[in-house]
């Protein structure tokens, strides 16, 4: 199995403009044996498909809300790389005492797999009082550790040391739990990435890192980000087993992650999986992508869409009933519609709620005196700090 993942390392992907040969997959669907790979069941394939479809449909809804100015800040999409998010998260243990992952801005799919709800995402983007962070943080920056996801901050690489600490705790307590942290190609240039990865490697933390090589960090291509060909080389420099897989092959990503998670869980330390994928939208919705060579996005959309490829594999091999996919599409559309309707008119948080819970103690900051004054101008000496 490791040999098969290694295949992709031989692809001449030194400059990502674009590595069209990545379309050539490690195990093309047409030659796949009829048996479902990776020990997955038909139901599990359908569940994965459901998360892929939900990710895409929810982001399309968010794009519509963004154009209607209902989204307060920026919108960050994962179009074209939903496959690796969903497939990698799907390899984790969910339920009581779950594994814990730390997503990035383009890992909505991973969060949905762990149990984040579409309505939470919608409320976050629209800064609703009812959202998980009550309007304090944006987009997918929120967490639920009981479900197994930890929200990121915008400083790239910072979640690597934090996940090192979380998985160090699993190890200290002897809990059979694993952490998974995503980093983009650009984030591998940060100090926090290197410090955290090295720390975790030395401590043999049960941590899996997914390195997302998606072609652009905002507008900067990998050739201007690092001088290695593959992100996996960086991990190997820290003594970490690392593989590179076709990130738009859902089953290949699942299989590689499952193996890595299993290895981490039995004490084999940090594991690294590089997923080669492609970001088909801008950094955020405002980004005109003028830096993208003509035809590049269209090529990936037409010939290497992870959802299309997964659907083709399911259909060609009769792994799921054809009707079942349509049923998923309908269910997902209904779910997103209902979630949108349920929160569109939710209020924004009251301004003064901004003062609470900076600390456990004291529970709230005091409003400044000129905000607390409700009557006419304060009498002499009224200000009190």
Partner 1 sequence: MAETTFLEAIRQGMWEEMERDDRVFLLGEDIGAYGGAFKVTQGFLERFGDARVIDTPISEAAIVGAAAGAAHMGMRPVAEMQFIDFISCAYDMLTNYVATARYRAGLSTPIVVRGPCGGYVRGGPFHSQNPEAAFFHTPGLKIVYPATVRDAKGLIKAAIRDDDPVIFLEHKWLYRRIKDTLPTGDEEVPPLGVARVAREGQDLSIVTYGATVWKSLEAAAQLDQADGISVEVVDLRTLLPLDEDAIVATVKKTNKLLIVHEDTRTGGLAGEITARVNERAFEWLDGPIMRVTAHDVPLPYAPTLEDFVLPQTEDIVTAARWLAAY
Residue in the structure block whose two tokens are 């195990």: 27
Residue 213 main-chain phi, psi, to 5 deg: -95, 95
Give the CA radius of gyration of the chain.
22
Which distant-in-sequence residues (6+ apart) come within 8 Å of 369 by Cβ?
378, 382, 383, 384, 385
Q: Which of 141, 236, 263, 299 binds partner 1 (CB under 8 A)?
A: 141
3-state SS, 143-167, equals CECCCCECCCCCCCCCHHHHHHHHH
- Which residues, 203 to 222, sit near partner 1 by CB under 8 A? 203
The region of 139-147, 310-318, 322-330, 343-351 touching partner 1 under the rule CB under 8 A is 139-147
Are the C-beta atoms of residues 193 and 160 closer than 8 Å to each other? yes
Using rule CB under 8 A, residue 130 touches partner 1:
no
* CB-count exposure of residue 366 (10 Å: 0-12, 13-18, 19+): exposed
Q: Pull the structure tokens for residue 103.
A: 């997503």
The site map against partner 1 for 342-371 (x = CB under 8 A) is ---------------xxxxxx--x------
With binding defined as CB under 8 A, does residue 149 bind partner 1?
Answer: no
Which range of residues in 62-70, 164-172, 215-223, 297-305 is near partner 1 by CB under 8 A? 164-172
Q: Looking at the DSSP assignment, which residues form a beta bridge with residue 212?
A: 184, 275
Whichever of 199 and 310 has its CB closer to partner 1, that residue is 199
Instruction: Select from 52, 20, 59, 11 the least CA-distant residue to 300.
Output: 20
- The answer to whether residues 312 and 251 touch, using CB atoms and an 8 Å cutoff, is no
Question: Which among 84-92, 112-120, 165-173, 313-321 is the span making contact with partner 1, rule CB under 8 A?
Answer: 165-173
Structure tokens at 238: 């820290």
Q: Does 199 sit near partner 1 (CB under 8 A)?
A: yes
Closest approach, Cβ 383 to partner 1, in A, equals 6
Q: Using the rule CB under 8 A, which residue among 64, 202, 350, 372 binds partner 1?
A: 202
163 binds partner 1 (CB under 8 A): yes
Distance CA 124, CA 120 (A): 6
Q: Which of 44, 169, 220, 289 binds partner 1 (CB under 8 A)?
A: 169
Nearest to 147 by CA among 86, 83, 101, 104: 101
Within 13 Å, how many C-alpha atoms sit on residue 222's CB side?
A: 24
**Using CB under 8 A, which of 18, 103, 109, 196 touches partner 1?**
196
Q: Determine if 156 is a binding residue for partner 1 (CB under 8 A).
A: no
Out of 110, 164, 261, 339, point to the residue binding partner 1 (CB under 8 A): 164
Q: Which is nearer to partner 1, 20 or 153 (CB)?
A: 153
Query: Is residue 145 within the footprint of partner 1 (CB under 8 A)?
Result: yes
- CB closer to partner 1 out of 191 and 293: 191
* Cα dihedral 105, 221, 289, 308 sign: negative
Residue among 32, 117, 136, 265 that touches partner 1 (CB under 8 A): 136
Q: Which residues contact partner 1 by CB under 8 A?
A: 133, 136-137, 141-143, 145, 150-151, 153-155, 158, 160-170, 172, 191-192, 195-196, 198-199, 202-203, 357-362, 365, 381, 383-385
């Amino acid at each position: 199995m490791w040999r098969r993942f290694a295949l992709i390392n031989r692809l001449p992907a030194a400059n990502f403009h674009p590595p069209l040969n990545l379309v050539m997959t490690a195990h093309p669907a047409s030659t796949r044996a009829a048996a479902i790979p990776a020990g997955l069941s038909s139901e599990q394939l359908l569940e994965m498909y459901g998360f892929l479809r939900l990710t895409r449909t929810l982001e399309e809804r968010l794009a519509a809300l963004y154009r209607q100015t209902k989204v307060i800040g920026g919108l960050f999409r994962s179009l074209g790389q939903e496959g690796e998010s969903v497939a990698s998260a799907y390899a984790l243990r969910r339920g009581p005492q779950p594994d814990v992952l730390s997503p990035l801005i383009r890992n909505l799919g991973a969060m949905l797999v762990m149990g984040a709800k579409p309505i939470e995402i919608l409320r976050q983007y629209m800064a609703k009082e009812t959202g998980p962070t009550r309007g304090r943080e944006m987009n997918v920056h929120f967490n639920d550790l009981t479900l197994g996801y930890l929200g990121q901050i915008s400083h790239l690489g910072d979640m690597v040391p934090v996940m090192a600490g979380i998985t160090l705790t699993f190890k200290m307590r002897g809990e059979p739990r694993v952490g998974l942290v995503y980093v983009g190609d650009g984030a591998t240039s940060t100090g926090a990435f290197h410090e955290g990865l090295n720390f975790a490697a030395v401590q043999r933390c049960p941590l899996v890192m997914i390195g997302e090589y998606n072609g652009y960090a905002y507008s900067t291509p990998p050739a201007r980000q690092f001088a290695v060909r593959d992100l996996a080389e960086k991990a190997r420099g820290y003594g970490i087993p690392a593989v590179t897989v076709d990130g738009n092959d859902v089953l290949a990503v699942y299989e590689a992650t499952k193996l890595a998670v299993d290895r981490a869980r039995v004490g084999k330390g940090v594991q690294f999986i590089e997923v080669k994928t492609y970001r088909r939208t801008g950094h955020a919705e405002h980004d005109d992508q003028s830096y993208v060579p003509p035809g590049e996005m269209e090529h990936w959309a037409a010939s290497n869409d992870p959802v299309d490829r997964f659907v083709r594999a399911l259909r060609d091999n009769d792994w799921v009933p054809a009707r079942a996919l349509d049923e998923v599409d309908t269910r997902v559309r209904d779910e997103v519609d209902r979630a949108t309707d349920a929160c569109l008119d939710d209020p924004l948080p009251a301004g003064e709620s901004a003062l609470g819970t900076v600390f456990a103690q004291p529970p709230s900051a005091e409003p400044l005196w000129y905000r607390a004054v409700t009557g006419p101008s304060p009498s002499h000496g009224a200000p009190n700090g």
